[in-house]
Structures are given as C-alpha cells and as structure tokens.
Copies of this chain bind each other. A is one copy, B any other.
C-alpha cells in the first residue's frame, strides 16, 4: 500500500458536507451513533474555526513531508488534507508555504497526526490546522508514502473521500456513503436540542424534561 497515489476519489455531495460543518463535531458524532471521533490529542492551532470537507488522505513516513506536495495536486475546492504517519513523529510537516499552495487550490484545512509550524502565519491566513504537535523541526523528502489510501489518523480509520468535520471540540470522520443520512439525523437532533434549550433557559430541570426521577430512585439514588 506504499508508493501509491489514487487519483480519482469519490466525494459526498458538497451541500451535505457544508451542512455538516454547521452541525459541528459533537452533534455529528452523536448523529452517527457515537462513532468516528479522532483522538483528543488533536488540537486546533487557533480557536473558532469550524470546517467540513472531503478527505484527501496521506500516509507519510516519520519526519518526511514529501507526500504533502503530491497530495496537494489531488485537491479539489472544499477538500481537507488529512495526514497519518507510519511511525510517530512530532516534526513540523506543514507550514505557511504548503498552506499557501493548498489554499490556492481551495483546501479548507489540515488534520495531521504529527507536527505543524508557522502557527502565526497560518493564523493570519486563517488556514486552520488540527495537529498533535506544534514544532518547528524541519522534515526531509526521501521516502515515498501514499495518497488517497485508507489511513489510521489519531486512532481512527479514514478513507479518501470520507467527510471530515472539525471544530474547537476536535475532529470527526463521517463515511462518505453515510454523509446524507448522518446529516438528516444531525438536523433532527439539532431541532430537538433547540426545543430543549428553550426549556432549560426557562429553568426547567433535565430531571423533569427527561423524566429521570423514577429511574434514579429505582437504581437506588437516595436524597439525604
């Protein structure tokens, strides 16, 4: 599976993808049955970004960012770069030049199970990155990896063309084939939450809204 670039990948419908961004990570994760979260060590380099896009996946060797150049050629507007490594590395695989190149091709952001650098410039460009490390250590270009193959990134399996949703809560992957269905469930959930929020704002308790008192008593909860 090494040394391969898959050029034609399928993507979910762009309007579905954009709508998933609006729902956010927590809601999407719930809507698809509490699956798809990437590990919580992935953190955004600045607060407030919220994006979704089709994954262009990269499997890269440790400390070697060559495949990022290869992957950028495969980008279409609205895509997100997602990089996993064959062995852990905290090196800074990605900085402002690569971001300039990716942004020029319509890329919405990067999810990387390694390090990133040029944080100040990336923030200025509003090119969001979710990474395991922030570290300026340079990388080499010696060993080929693969692009658009299935990749394990931060404990989750991601296929090329899967939908990536990312915000301040972290990163979630939605299978391409399930994107429309997940969106529908996410919207139902949001509608339901809006109603609940109004009741909470009015001072009602979850104990009553969700009718929990009897079941708590049954489980042995005692008030003293």
What's the Cα separation between A168 and B46 when bound, in Å? Answer: 11
Decide if A35 touches B86 in the complex (CB within 8 Å).
yes
The smallest beta-carbon distance between A6 and chain B, in angstroms, is 6
A91–B101 CB distance below 8 A: no
A12 at the interface (CB under 8 A from B): no
- Is B220 in contact with A170, judged by CB distance below 8 angstroms? no
Q: B5, A133: Cβ atoms under 8 Å?
A: no
In the assembled complex, the Cα of A150 lies from the Cα of B219 at a distance in Å of 21
The answer to whether B72 and A222 touch across the interface, beta carbons within 8 angstroms, is: no
Q: How many copies does the complex hold?
A: 6
Chain B residues with CB below 8 A from A191, complex form: none
With a cutoff of 8 Å between Cβ atoms, the chain B residues found around residue A95 in the complex are 26
A156 CA / B136 CA spacing, docked (Å) = 14
**Given A66-B212, A70-B207: A223 and B169 interface contact (C-beta under 8 Å):** no
Interface window among A13-21, A139-147, A180-188:
A139-147
Residues of B within 8 A of A138 (CB): 26, 29-30, 34
In the complex, what residue of chain B is closest to A49 when comparing beta carbons?
Answer: B120
Of B34, B69, B96, the residue contacting A207 (CB under 8 A) is B69
Task: Kindly list chain B residues whose C-beta atoms are within 8 Å of the C-beta of A221.
Answer: 3-5, 70, 144
Does B87 contact A63, Cβ atoms closer than 8 Å? yes
**A7–B189 Cα gap in the complex (Å)?**
33
A201-224 vs B, CB cutoff 8 Å, 1 = contact: the mask equals 111111100101000100111111
Q: A212-B66, A212-B141 are in contact. Are A7 and B224 (CB under 8 A)?
A: yes
A residues neighboring B (CB under 8 Å): 1-7, 24-26, 29-30, 33-35, 37, 39-40, 43, 46-48, 50, 61-63, 66, 68-70, 72-73, 86-92, 95-98, 100-101, 104-105, 115, 117-120, 123, 133-138, 140-144, 150, 152, 155-157, 167-170, 172, 193, 196-197, 200-207, 210, 212, 216, 219-224
